[in-house]
Amino acid sequence: MDAVAVGAGVAFALLGAVAERLASVWPTDEASHRRPGPRTVAYALVAGLAGGGVAFRASLPWWALAVQLAILAILLLLTATDLEQRRLPHLLLDPLLLLAALFVPFNPGLGWQDAVIGGVSAVAFLGLLGLIVRGGVARGDFLLIAPLGLLLGWPAIFSAMFIAGLLSAVFSLGLLLTRRAGLRTYIPFGPFLVAGSLITLLRDPGLLGPVATAANALLRG
């Protein structure tokens, strides 16, 4: 594994720990002020694997990889907050949308037409879903899908949403079977959207640049 991937993994593990701790105290109106524990360690490990995985898989110019990692960093902060407080703050969503939009015409792994179609179609799909299933789509999730659509483009964003829905269903079923949640329990969908998008990003043959080595090809399954 190259030095960039190792460095990214370490940096993102630290970021994951900071994000999990930050989510326990901010936003302040619903902060739990939990002490560090196994959840902190687990989130740090997942964040480290995510950052290191993206850096290892990518064959992009350095500046494009830097943008991808910056977007991933914001997504990890959002995920930690959504897991802790069931919310996706505008203070993080707005910069994410701005960065994703500015990246569209320069993204070497995705044409701008596919990026725009991906963003628009993803928002339209979740909007339609929200009309059909009353209360099925939270406002934060609706705002989160736009930058994810711009980043993944058409049709990859729908692969990400399918994976997110599958992961959410499996997780919800597990909570029901273990009686840790009921049918009316609210489970945030944002973390699953981020997970589905990350899996899609790593598996796609072009979004992070062409797969350069046989080792990287293992990430595609």
The tokens describing 120, both together, are 């628009």
Cβ-proximal residues to 110 (8 Å cutoff; 6+ apart), any chain: 151, 152, 153, 206, 207
The tokens describing 199, both together, are 């899996």
Is 44:12 a contact under the CB 8 Å cutoff?
no
d(CA 68, CA 166): 25
User: Cα 165 from chain centroid?
Assistant: 13
pLDDT in tens, 55-98: 999 999 999 999 999 999 999 999 999 998 888 999 999 999 99
Direct distance between the N- and C-terminal alpha carbons of the chain, in angstroms, rounded to an integer: 18
Is 64:106 a contact under the CB 8 Å cutoff?
yes
The secondary structure element, H or E, covering residue 54 is helix 38-57
d(CA 96, CA 84): 19
Q: What Cα–Cα distance (Å) separates residue 218 from each residue in 68, 77, 119, 140?
A: 21, 28, 28, 34
What pLDDT is recorded for position 167? Answer: 93
- Global pTM value: 0.90
d(CA 204, CA 191): 20
Helix axes 139-152, 190-203, angle to 10 degrees: 10
pLDDT in tens, 124-141: 998 888 777 766 677 888
pLDDT in tens, 144-175: 999 999 999 999 999 999 999 999 889 888 87
Count structural domains, the chain. 1
List the domain range (segments joined by +) for residue 208. 3-220
